[in-house]
Amino acid sequence: MSNTPFDPSKFTAPKAKPLPVILLLDVSGSMSGDKIRNLNLAVRDMLEDFRDTETSEIEIHVAIITFGTEVRLHQALTSASALQWQDLSASGMTPLGTALQMAKAMIEDKDTVPSRAYRPTVVLVSDGGPNDAWEKPLSQFIGDGRSAKCDRMAMAIGADADEAVLGKFLENSPHSLLYAENAKQLRDCFKFITMSVTIRTRSQTPNTVPTPDAIDLRPTTIEARQHSAKSVAQPSADQDGGYW
């Protein structure tokens, strides 16, 4: 019989690995009214789904950076199950470049996003064009360091969103630029993003991003909107909130 003393520290359960999701949300003045209200509802739904799909092996951690009157860490990187959501409000301009710098600093910091974490998903949502120096921060974000390895997704809200800037953010990404012109389309886009993340929690290879064909939802994309605009002269308002 062994005389080795009992050491309870040897029997700790393995700690779940984090799968970070970082939302970069435009809260400029043009997002006021229906846009910000529906954005709040869509993010709430996303967080509920994340809570429901966390496992003992994988925890979805969420951070939210807003850019409007100021660039603000609205929510530090936290497990979805522990996150207490606070609604966003809209005001100010669109300082995207500074928001990208904050997001990159977060991702490069191994105390915040540890090496054991799975590949982060970064989602950029905007309804206009940036009003600060964004070119260099965006180029550095997609081209250098750990941020360049993130899964990047982007959503244009309304016809005034700067498709060129959002498209640049998606360079070398497998994703199309999502488009939302009304409440239903916004919910569908966020649901698509949610499913892209939650599929990874059930995968044997969580660092592998699912292809769009693996997701049982087809949200509106910029390409689909452009095609629709050619064939539909005057679309009707959506019953869930109307066109913005």
The answer to the question of residue 60 being in a domain is yes
Phi and psi dihedrals of 138, rounded to 5? -70, -45
The answer to the question of residue 241 being in a domain is no
Specify the higher pLDDT residue, 105 or 230. Answer: 105
The answer to the question of residue 10 being in a domain is no
Please state the domain count of the chain.
1
- Residue 158 maps to which CATH number? 3.40.50.410
Half-sphere exposure in the Cβ direction for 204 (13 Å, CA): 0
The answer to the question of residue 1 being in a domain is no
Q: For the segment 55-110, what is each residue's pLDDT rounded down to a tens digit?
A: 888 999 999 999 999 999 999 999 999 999 999 999 999 999 999 999 999 999 99
Mean of the per-residue pLDDT values of the chain: 89
Q: Which of 103, 112, 101, 66 is nearest to 87 (CA)?
A: 66
The answer to the question of residue 191 being in a domain is yes
Lowest mean pLDDT among 17-31, 53-67, 117-131: 53-67
- How far is Cα 96 from Cα 41, in angstroms, rounded to an integer? 23
Helices (H), 171-215: 183-201
For residue 56, give its domain range: 16-231
* 165-172 contacts at long range (C-beta below 8 A, 24 or more positions apart): 165/96, 165/126, 165/129, 165/130, 165/134, 165/138, 166/124, 166/126, 167/222, 168/138, 168/142, 169/124, 169/138, 169/141, 169/142, 171/142, 172/142
The answer, yes or no, to whether residue 2 has pLDDT greater than 50, is: yes
The answer, yes or no, to whether residue 14 has pLDDT greater than 90, is: no
The answer to the question of residue 115 being in a domain is yes
The answer to the question of residue 2 being in a domain is no
Do strands 178-180 and 121-126 pair parallel, antiparallel, or not at all (unpaired)?
A: unpaired
The answer to the question of residue 155 being in a domain is yes
Q: For the segment 155-208, what is each residue's pLDDT rounded down to a tens digit?
A: 999 989 999 999 999 999 999 999 999 999 999 999 999 999 999 999 999 999
